[in-house]
Amino acid sequence: MSVLISNDAELDTLLDAQEVEHICGFVLAAEGVEREIEISLSYVDEDEMHELNHEWRGIDRTTDVLSFECDSAFDEDIPADETLELGDIILAPQVIARQAPGFGNSPADECRLMLVHGMLHLLGYDHIEDDEAEVMEAREDAILRDLALERGEDPKLVHVGPITNHAHD
């Protein structure tokens, strides 16, 4: 697996590159993805995220994370020995850091959540409908708790949601 990280604006990324790569690999393993994967991750400032959210989702405000799926990790038509381009995750660390206290999270924990959220989108999860949101949120919760255990933290302190339903957009 490779994660191509871009931070042209030299923003505070909230997580170091090694942890980002670990989280991406952890999500892939948790979802049973065993093939070679490439992921693009970009950190953008609030203004650029606002523009991207407006252009791609038609929502005229900033957001914390956007995901754009390329190849499906489960597409059996793509040869198993071929590197799969899973897609792009775009994070706005300024937005993430600002909203973290409102969700009871540190900026780093909120960034972990947004990264897991973006990865799950690349793997086909969605949260438009309530039942989809519940499934996605449960996966986020389980993965983040397992990651907390790995870091030696109390998984009971992980706080996820409800945040994934976008009915209000």
Annotated binding-site residues read: 117, 121, 127
Annotated binding site for Zn(2+): 117, 121, 127
Stated length of the chain: 169
User: Is the CB of residue 66 less than 8 Å from the CB of residue 92?
Assistant: no
Query: To which residue do tokens 């924990």 refer?
Result: 109
Closest by CA to 135, choosing from 160, 101, 108, is 160
Q: What whole-number distance in Å separates Cα of residue 100 and Cα of residue 112?
A: 11
Closest by CA to 29, choosing from 66, 1, 70, is 1
